[in-house]
Amino acid sequence: MKKTRLAWTAIAAAAVILSGCSGTGTRDDAGDGAQVVEGGSGAQTAGAGAAGAWTGNPLDNPDSLLATRKIYFDFDRSEIRPEFVSILRAHADYLNSNRSANVTIEGHCDERGSREYNIGLGERRAASIMSFLEAEGVDPAQINTISYGEERPQDPGHNESAWAMNRRGVLVY
């Protein structure tokens, strides 16, 4: 429901821009449609009027880096691995262009070690992602963090590959 409405608003907004009107035209639309027009992402959706390109909220674009909401960590570490930097930059760009957007960062751990210590470690991972986004200019007020420690594994297995999947940070919009 909501997605459909967003897509329609975006198409309407794109039409407004293409027809050369100013942003005032969007005032008739629903509140969250206005976000799409304002800022950088508005230009993207406008240009995407061409056949086959994405029209809608960039968060819903499966080809965007924003479609990746999970990054993974090394054992007992909370540093951002180099391969995830571009993904987090894309999220920072999105949040910077959409100041009313909020994200919750979940920190998770693998099952090894004690549970409350893992809550601490999960929080450190979430904080590490938060610091990265803030360094990219994201307003801290847009970010919320929560640590689930080892309580919510993504892979219920008990081996190295499951553990690697479970040591993660998740961005929830």
Partner 1 sequence: MHFRIFLIFLMLSGAARADLLIEITKGLEGALPIAVVPFGYVGDKGQPTTNVGNVVSADLGRSGRFKPLPVGDMLSRPTRNEQVDFRDWRAVNVENLVIGEVQQNGPGGYLVKFRLYDVFRGEQITGFSIPTTSRDLRSTAHQIADIIYETLTGQPGAFNTRIAYITSFRTKAGKEKDGTTIYKEKVQLRVADADGYNPQTIVTSDEPLMSPAWSPDGRRIAYVSFERSKPSIWVQEVFTGRREKLTSFKGINGAPAWSPDGRYLALTLSKDGNPDIFIMDTRRRTLRALTRHWGIDTEPAWSPDGKQIVFTSDRGGTPQIYQVSVNGGEPKRLTFEGKYNARASYSPEGRFLTMVSRLNGDYRIGTLDLQNGELSILSDGMLDESPSFAPNGSMIIYATRANGKGVLAAVSTDGRVKQRLALQAGDVREPAWSPYHQNERK
Q: Which residues of this protein are in contact with partner 1, per CB under 8 A?
A: 62, 67-70, 111-117, 119-121, 123-124, 127, 145-149, 151-152, 154-156, 158, 165
- Ordered alpha helix ranges (H), the chain: 2-18, 31-37, 39-47, 85-97, 115-135, 160-166
Q: At its nearest, how many Å lie between partner 1 and the CB of residue 138?
A: 18
Minimum CB distance to partner 1, residue 22 (Å): 35
Question: Is residue 143 within 8 Å of 130, Cβ to Cβ?
Answer: yes
For residue 11, the SS3 value is: helix
Pick between residue 19 and residue 159 the one whose CB is nearest to partner 1: 159
Cβ proximity to partner 1, 39 vs 113, nearer residue:
113
CB 121 to partner 1: min, Å: 7
What 36-43 contacts at long range (C-beta under 8 Å, 24+ apart), as own/partner pairs, is: 36/6, 36/9, 36/10, 37/13, 39/97, 39/98, 40/93, 40/97, 41/94, 41/97, 41/98, 42/13, 42/17
CA-nearest of 116, 119, 109 to 170 is: 109
Q: Would you say 81 or 112 has its CB closer to partner 1? A: 112
Name the minimum Å distance from CB 95 to partner 1: 20
Q: How far is the CB of 26 from partner 1 (least distance, A)?
A: 28
Is residue 114 classed as helix, strand or coil in its secondary structure? coil
Q: 């801290």: which residue's tokens?
A: 140
Our CB check for partner 1 shows the closer of 38 and 60 to be 60
* 83 vs 116 by CB, closer to partner 1: 116
